Amino acid sequence: MPQHLSLTAVVVRDYDEAIAFFVGKLEFELREDTRLDEEKRWVVVAPPGSAESGILLAKAATPGQEQAIGNQSGGRVFLFLATDDFNRDYEAFRERGVKFLEQPRREVYGTVAVFEDLYGNRWDLIEPT
């Protein structure tokens, strides 16, 4: 039976500010935004062209979850955004105010640069070799 990762949860402070970042700055698609109750929504965003995976924006509901906002991987790169054109996306992200932590570099596996989301989680923007 084939399997794939469907969603990765990213803990956020506020649904709407997270949507503004992912849709406005990274140009992700808003796939779903369904209210579940007074406080909770089911919000899924995904990179354009991503057929099987997405990010579930999960609003922190406990003090422990609030502490994880922006540090879901202990300061390491948390997510890897693959692109077919590194320079196009790098320049577009920079123009929209995305904070890169380093200059682009070439590695054996591709061209890469680390950026932060609105909360400080680290991402790789990568064009695989």
Question: CA 36, 37, 39: angle at the middle one, nearest 5?
Answer: 110
Residues 56 and 84 in one domain: no
Q: What is the mean pLDDT of residues 88-117?
A: 98
Residues 41 and 92 in one domain: no
In this prediction, residue 52 carries a pLDDT of: 87
Question: CA 55, 89, 111: angle at the middle one, nearest 5?
Answer: 95
* Predicted model pTM: 0.93
Structure tokens at 87: 């320079």
Give the domain-ending residue among 19, 35, 61: 61
The CATH number linked to 22 is 3.10.180.10
Q: Confidence band (pLDDT; 50, 70, 90) for 1? A: confident
In this prediction, residue 43 carries a pLDDT of: 98
Residues 55 and 95 in one domain: no
Q: Confidence band (pLDDT; 50, 70, 90) for 44? A: very high
Residues 120 and 78 in one domain: yes
Residues 43 and 87 in one domain: no
**65, 71 contact by CB (below 8 A):** no
Residues 47 and 83 in one domain: no
Range of the domain at 118: 74-128
Residue 23 lies in a domain: yes
Chain centroid to CA 66: 17
Q: What is the mean pLDDT of residues 12-30?
A: 98
**2, 51 contact by CB (below 8 A):** no
